[in-house]
Copies of this chain bind each other. A is one copy, B any other.
Amino acid sequence: MSTEKYYVGIDLGGMSAKGGLFSPEGKMVAKSTVKTCKEEGFAVTAKNLAGLAREVCELAKVPLSQLGGVGVGTPGIIDGANGIVVAWTNFDWENVPLAAEMSKNLGGIPVKISNDANAAALGEAKFGAGKKFTDSITITLGTGVGSGIIIGGKIFEGFRGGAGEAGHMTLVVGGIPCTCGRRGCFEQYASASALIRDTKKSMFEHKDSAMWKIAPDPEEVNGVTSFTAAKEGDKAAQEVVKNYIMYLSEGILNLVNCFRPQAIIIGGGVSGQGEYLLQPVRKYVDEHLFVGFDRIPLSIVRAQLGNDAGIWGAYALAAND
C-alpha cells in the first residue's frame, strides 16, 4: 500500500452507505454515512457516494488531492475489472458503470468496485481473521448466506463477477425452494433465517421445550433462541442446533473440497456463538473432508471485523494494485 496517500472505503447498502477514510498508516481516521434509496436512481446514488468520500476527507481535513482512490463494496453481481454493476435487482441496476460515474464526480480519482460480500471477505483476509493466510473464504450467516473468496490475497470474482455465490450451491437436490430459482441451496439451511424457521418449527413440535420460555411469542424467535436453550440442556433445541451445524458443515465441506483454502472465516449474527458453534463444525468438517486436517491443515475461525469488514475491504480494494 502507498505510504503517502489516503484512501476511502465505502460499503453500499439498500438503505445507507457507510464510508471510512484511511490514513497512509492504514488507520480509519473518519467515518460517515449517507442514505440510499432505489428511487433516486443510479446517477444520484453515484453522486451521493462521491459526496460521502468528500465528506470523510473534510471531516479529517484531508484535501482531495491527497486521496489515492476510493473502493466500494456494493450488492449485486459486479464486474470489478470493468467497474460495472452487472445486476443489482433490488435497485433495478443493470450494467451500470458505477466506478466511472463516481470517478467523474471526484475529478478523476480512481474508483474500484466489487461485490459487498467479496469486499467483506477481503477486509477479513487483509485486516481481520484471515491476516495469516493468502487464501480464505468468508461465509456470512445472515438473512442469506453470503460468501467471498480470496485467492492469493485478491478477490476471486470469476467471469464478469459471477463467482462466489456459495449461498446458492445446492446441498439437497429437490430440497427447500430458494429465491434464486433452485431448490436445496446452502442458504436455505445455514442462514440465520433458516435457523429461525427451524427453531419455530421445533417449538410447535415440542410444546414443552425451554425455547418457549425464551421466546413466548414465536415472532420473537431469533438466531440465538435455539442456541440459548440448547446450552441450558433443552433436547429439542439441541436437535435444532445439531442439524444446523451439520448443514453448515456440509456446505463448508463442499467449498473446501472445491477450493481448499487455508481458512474458512465465519461471520454474521450466528457466528456470535463463537466456539460453541465452531468446535463441532471443525470436528464434522475434519471427519468428512476428502483430505483431512492431518494432511492439509485448515483453520475454521470467527470473523473479527463485524459490520466494518466491508469498509475495510473496500479500502484494501482501493489501496492495492
CA distance A298 to B247 in the complex (A): 29
CA distance A166 to B173 in the complex (A): 16
Closest CB-CB distance, A187 to chain B, in whole Å? 11
Q: Which of A283-307 contact B (CB under 8 A)?
A: 287-288, 290-291, 295-296, 298
Pick the contact of A290: B157, B159, B165, B250 (CB < 8 A).
Answer: B165
CA distance A171 to B262 in the complex (A): 23
Q: With a CB–CB cut-off of 8 A, which chain B residues contact A168? A: 257, 290
A136 closest partner in B (C-beta): B159
A163 closest partner in B (C-beta): B260
Q: Which of A248-273 contact B (CB under 8 A)?
A: 250, 253-262
Given A87-B295, A168-B257, A296-B77: A246 and B159 within 8 A (CB)? no
Contact-size category for A = 35 or more
A77 closest partner in B (C-beta): B291
- Asked if A260 and B170 make an inter-chain contact with CB atoms under 8 angstroms apart, the answer reads no
Closest CB-CB distance, A172 to chain B, in whole Å? 5
Q: Which of A8-62 contact B (CB under 8 A)?
A: none
Q: With a CB–CB cut-off of 8 A, which chain B residues contact A166? A: 257-258
CA distance A95 to B257 in the complex (A): 19
Closest CB-CB distance, A240 to chain B, in whole Å? 16
Closest CB-CB distance, A256 to chain B, in whole Å? 7
- Asked if B261 and A258 make an inter-chain contact with CB atoms under 8 angstroms apart, the answer reads no
Q: Is A162 an interface residue (CB 8 A)?
A: yes
Q: Which of A51-90 contact B (CB under 8 A)?
A: 77, 86-87
